[in-house]
Structure formats: structure tokens, C-alpha cells
Amino acid sequence: MAIREILVVPHPVLKQVSTPVDVVDDALRALMDDMLETMYDAPGIGLAAVQIGVPKRVIVMDLSGKDEPRAPRYFVNPEIVWASDDTAPYEEGCLSVPEYYDEVERPARVKLKYLNYQGEAVEEDADGMFAVCIQHEMDHLEGVLFIDHLSRLKREQAIKKVKKLVRA
């Protein structure tokens, strides 16, 4: 396992649409292991492969609390097959937009399907933090950052702040 560099705005790769994965094999599991190690090191709760420069439809996530045992999750080719009409606001942050947080409104519940670490098909419902995080990470697969849901002014402020942070 290796810790990879996390790309930050305005890196052009972050705007790429990720390609579907053909097969869950040892090479893909090695990528997911690297992603998980990178996410824990950052630290974060979710990471899409495109954030480390690999535009494939792969996400890792761990929503366990600080004092809880780690509970890594893997999502290959995830798809939202249903989203609730009711929405919920949540203050989001992103490893690719370091030290910037703002409120985003998203569907409160979703149903998703994906392949897991073993390549098995899974379908499940998500609500709360899980729903927020999976939608946030799936946006990355489409080249969308959480700041793209904000006003142009707020988005420009976020990018300016990150550029300044990176220069420091």
C-alpha cells in the first residue's frame, strides 16, 4: 500500500468524467487499498480515484468515528438508482478543496448499486451522512466538486483560498 498525492483545485483532472471499471481484480484492489491508506492519512472519510489522478469509477469510504474500529467501504461503478424528493443541507468539505467548508443541499435518501471489493453486486439504501458522502464522492466521478453546487462567488473564493494555501 502507498499514500498517493491528492489533487487539489483547480487541477484539470478533477474535472474529468471517470470511466467505468471492467473487472474487479488484484490491480484494482491494490488501487483501492492505496486510496484507503491515502484517505486515512489525509485524514478524510471518502475519496474518489480521480482525486489521486486515476479517472476510474472507484470510491472508498469510512464513516466510523474516531473512537470506533475502522469500517472501510469500497464502491466500484456506483450508480444512484433512486433519490428522495426531500433534501437535507449538510456542511461539506473535500480533500481536493482543503480547509474550505460550505453547506450543500442534496437528496436526503438514495438507493445505490455498485460492486464491492470482491466484485460482488450490491444494492443498498443510504441516508444521513452515508447519503451525503456517497453523493459527494459520486459527483467526483462526473467531474463535479462540492463547490460547483455553490454560487460562482463562493466557488471562486474557495479556489482562491486553496491556491493561497498551496503556495504557503
137 is catalytic: yes
Point out the catalytic residue in the list 5, 105, 137, 142.
137
Count of CB atoms situated within 10 Å of the CB of 62: 18
- Please provide residue 151's backbone torsions phi and psi, each rounded to the nearest 5 degrees: -65, 160
SS3 content of the chain, % helix, strand, coil (to 5): 35, 30, 35
DSSP state of 120: -
Cell, residue 153: 462567488
Q: How far apart are CA 92 and CA 3, in angstroms?
A: 23
Give the residue ranges of DSSP H helices in the chain: 26-41, 128-141, 152-167
Q: For residue 48, which of 98, 107, 95 has the smallest C-alpha distance?
A: 95
Catalytic residues: 137
